[in-house]
Amino acid sequence: MSQQIRANSVLPARRTDIELHTADGMRLVGELAVPEGGEPVATLICLHPLPTHGGMMDSHLFRKAAWRLPALAGVAVLRFNTRGTSSVRGTSEGAFSAAVDERYDVAAAIEYAEFADLPNRWLLGWSFGTDLALMHGLDPEVRGAILLSPPLRFSGPEHLQAWAGSGKPLTALVPEFDDYLRPAEATERFAVVPQAEVVGVPGAKHLWVGDAETVLDEVVRRVAPAVPVPLPRTWDGPMEAGDAGAYADRTVAAFQDVPVAGPEQRRG
């Protein structure tokens, strides 16, 4: 009997706790979720929102991606806590470095995906994670990047120029009511990247509360174009329920009416 897929629904997958080891000696905690019955068609390497404001590998979009996409789309999901970040999975070593030393974290995640022979590797950044993707994710082993709510706060024009020169696919999903960068301005800022696609999402806000299905559909549309979208909203097989209390969404709570610390948003 079909069951509706809800926010805490956990669909079948092979899930493994992993550790990433950075070039500067940090141990990062994470998880890899892959399809239960076969090889993945694509891989998402998730770069989470700002850890000083509750961002972590369990931030709701990435949690839902890991819980759903291996079963619904055959997509592997690698998520991890950047240095100094804590979640139910544990705490990664090191300390928040305002997108500087996090370059080692991004490199370690890409390297893990490469050595695990995970195919068709894409970066999926959200908020601060989009800056990490733009600044540190332009790697030969990466197919392209999808940016969710990119603030272009730590990254600069030089990073966009580098992506432009690479020719690699770059998609920005921009909420209509984003707190930092809205669709019209995003279109202007990303115009320096000829291959960049800016997708405005009507009614959405920076944290995508209530819009997870839209985001996952748009992600799958780009990384696994042979998979029909919209993805199913019901499931006929076994389904578990995640502990909503254990996965309290600190990201959403922390961002309520709190200014984001960091450098002034760049223009250019």
CATH number, domain with residue 132: 3.40.50.1820
On whether residue 266 sits in a domain, the answer given is no
pLDDT of residue 243: 81
Q: Which residue pairs, CB below 8 angstroms and at least 24 apart, start in 36-39?
A: 36/12, 36/70, 36/71, 38/74, 39/119
Cα-Cα end-to-end distance for the chain: 54
Burial classification of residue 204, based on how many CB atoms lie within 10 Å of its CB (0-12 exposed, 13-18 middle, 19 or more buried): buried
CB 20 within 8 A of CB 55: no
On whether residue 207 sits in a domain, the answer given is yes
Nearest-angstrom CA–CA distance, 268 and 261: 20
pLDDT of residue 212: 97
On whether residue 262 sits in a domain, the answer given is no
pLDDT of residue 246: 67
On whether residue 268 sits in a domain, the answer given is no
Over range 251-268, report the average pLDDT: 42
- Going by C-beta distance under 8 Å and a sequence separation of 6 or more, which residues neighbour residue 187? 198
b/e string for 61-72 if b means 16 or more Cβ within 10 A?
bbbbbbbbbbbb
On whether residue 261 sits in a domain, the answer given is no
Structural domain range at position 158: 3-255
Confidence of residue 72 (pLDDT cuts 50, 70, 90): very high
CB 136 within 8 A of CB 23: no
Over range 24-43, report the average pLDDT: 97
pTM of the model: 0.93
What ranges make up the beta strands (E) of 127-205? 144-148, 170-175, 196-201
3-state secondary structure of 132: helix
On whether residue 170 sits in a domain, the answer given is yes
CB 123 within 8 A of CB 145: yes
Write down the mean pLDDT value for the chain: 92
3-state secondary structure of 76: strand
Number of domains the chain is built from: 1
Confidence of residue 8 (pLDDT cuts 50, 70, 90): very high
- pLDDT tens for residues 143-178? 999 999 999 999 999 999 999 999 999 999 999 999
